[in-house]
């Protein structure tokens, strides 16, 4: 599996998302994924499952150095002391000395961004994270992060799928060497039975969901983290790595609406 790299980050292009997975179900999903060959596991303080992910890390035969773990600090914990406590709690629950990628989960409405980034950078410098980044940041917020604060972030994790265009954001990120990690790559299940994607899938003898994932992974600098609790789904997502969409497929997908956002809580920034 190809990796995205930069600013200390090594991130396999297909990972396992764990949002809304809990307890034994989460632990078993991570264990199964690692057995199948996944090496990129995504969790977060807010998910309440870092302990379950940690339990899987403790039992797997895969060396810790080969597993890339992403976690995120919640937007209410961006003050220096709060971020430090959150990060320490994350490491304790995961049972590891570091995370491979540590992100600001959401920009807080009243956050002190330079201060939050300085704390994030110190955590990286001290070895608590191999790389740092952000999530749900707009172009305006990325400009503050990169051009004003000059924080060495590696990626921005955002909602991205065939029904939500991110061209402006992706262009800016590409210019500055940032990777994009796509969450909700299947639009919270909406794409599993999408008619246009299903037609493309029949042509290649694959599912609509695999077409949706392949579309993302056909883009340079993009990783995807679909949630998959069942082994069948985990295997199917891995198979999507082998699918190569042709020009006709890409043209058909380009005609789909691109403004269907699934995640936009009340504290979300003003999307560009």
- Which residues are designated catalytic? 47
Which residue reads 């990169």 in tokens? 146
Q: What does the alpha-carbon distance between residue 27 and residue 21 come to, in Å, rounded to a whole number?
A: 9
The first and second tokens of residue 149, run together, are 């604060």
The first and second tokens of residue 15, run together, are 């990972």
Number of H helices, E strands in the chain: 10, 10
Identify the bridge partners of residue 4 per DSSP, sorted by sequence position: 11
Identify the bridge partners of residue 227 per DSSP, sorted by sequence position: 17
Q: What does the alpha-carbon distance between residue 120 and residue 83 come to, in Å, rounded to a whole number?
A: 8
Helix (H) or strand (E) holding 180: strand 179-183
Which residue reads 């003050």 in tokens? 79
Phi-psi region of 127 (alpha: psi -120 to 50; beta: other; left: phi over 0): left
3-state secondary structure of 217: helix
C-alpha dihedral sign at 21, 153, 220, 253: positive
């Amino acid at each position: 599996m190809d990796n995205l790299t930069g600013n200390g980050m090594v991130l396999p292009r297909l990972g396992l998302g764990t949002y809304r997975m809990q307890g034994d179900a989460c632990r078993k999903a991570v264990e199964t994924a690692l057995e199948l060959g996944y090496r990129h596991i995504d969790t977060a303080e807010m998910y309440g499952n870092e302990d379950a992910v940690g339990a899987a890390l403790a039992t797997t035969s895969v060396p810790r150095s080969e597993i890339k773990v992403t976690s995120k600090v919640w937007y209410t914990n961006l003050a220096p002391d709060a971020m430090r406590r959150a990060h320490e709690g994350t490491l304790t629950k995961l049972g590891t000395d570091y995370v491979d990628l540590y992100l600001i989960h959401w920009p807080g409405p009243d956050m002190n961004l330079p201060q939050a980034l300085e704390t994030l950078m110190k955590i990286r410098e001290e070895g608590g994270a191999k790389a740092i980044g952000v999530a749900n940041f707009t172009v305006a917020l990325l400009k503050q992060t990169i051009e004003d604060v000059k924080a060495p972030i590696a990626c921005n994790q955002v909602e991205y799928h065939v029904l939500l265009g991110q061209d402006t954001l992706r262009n800016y990120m590409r210019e500055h060497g940032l990777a994009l990690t796509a969450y909700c790559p299947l639009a919270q299940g909406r794409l599993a039975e999408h008619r246009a994607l299903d037609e493309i899938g029949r042509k290649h003898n694959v599912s609509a969901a695999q077409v949706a994932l392949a579309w993302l992974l056909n883009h340079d600098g993009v990783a995807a983290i679909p949630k998959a609790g069942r082994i069948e789904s985990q295997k199917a997502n891995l198979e999507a790595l082998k699918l190569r969409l042709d020009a006709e497929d890409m043209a058909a997908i380009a005609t789909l609406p691109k403004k269907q956002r699934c995640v936009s809580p009340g504290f979300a920034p003003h999307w560009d």
